Amino acid sequence: RCVLETGFYKVNYLQLHLTDDQLFSWPSRAYPKLHDERSGWTWDAFVELEAYSQARGVTIIPEIDVPGHSTILRKRYPEVFGNNPTELATLPGALVGMKALIDELLSVFAATPYVHIGGDEAYGVPGDVQRDFVNSLSRHVVANGRRAIVWEGPRLGEGEHKVDTNVLHMNWRTIDF
């Protein structure tokens, strides 16, 4: 059980990295085969965590890390998310699936001003493809009144393939800019 001791640590944001190649912790209702019982989290537990965090002034930032950390998405629903990260970033059905997952997150984490969509370590995905994918997801997040966050992933780019300026970047290497 997660306990938020905000007074002691002076934490007012908590980012939940809900997906990775090894575990998918989000209990999706749209794509139930994604969820792994090993995560220990249920839909109701996340609802309870959101209420608990809001009562203590903590904003939860949910993260589904794509296209790089998408092994489970692709293994369990290849017909939706494709067979590799580039397909996930280009298939129209994958974009529909990602929007459905984001909508689920927002239905539980209603107070968050942010949705983290990943973007890092998308090896083999061409930069323009990745930037276009980030922008597509960002537009959906913005249409829902939130702001998208990405890890330091693709270079910012130029022209029509530039990452939207409203996307917030979390950088740790700073070599890609």
List the catalytic residue out of 21, 36, 87, 121.
121
List the catalytic residue out of 69, 104, 120, 140.
69
Q: DSSP 3-state helix, strand, coil percentages of the chain (rounded to 5)?
A: 45, 15, 40
Q: Label residue 10 exposed, middle or buried (CB < 10 Å: 0-12, 13-18, 19+).
A: exposed
List the catalytic residue out of 17, 20, 128, 161.
20
**Phi, psi dihedral angles at 81 (to 5 degrees):** -100, 0
DSSP designation for 125: S
Per the annotation, the verdict on 69 as an active-site residue is yes
Per the annotation, the verdict on 20 as an active-site residue is yes
Q: How far apart are CA 55 and CA 117, in angstroms?
A: 26
| Residues known to be catalytic | 20, 69, 121
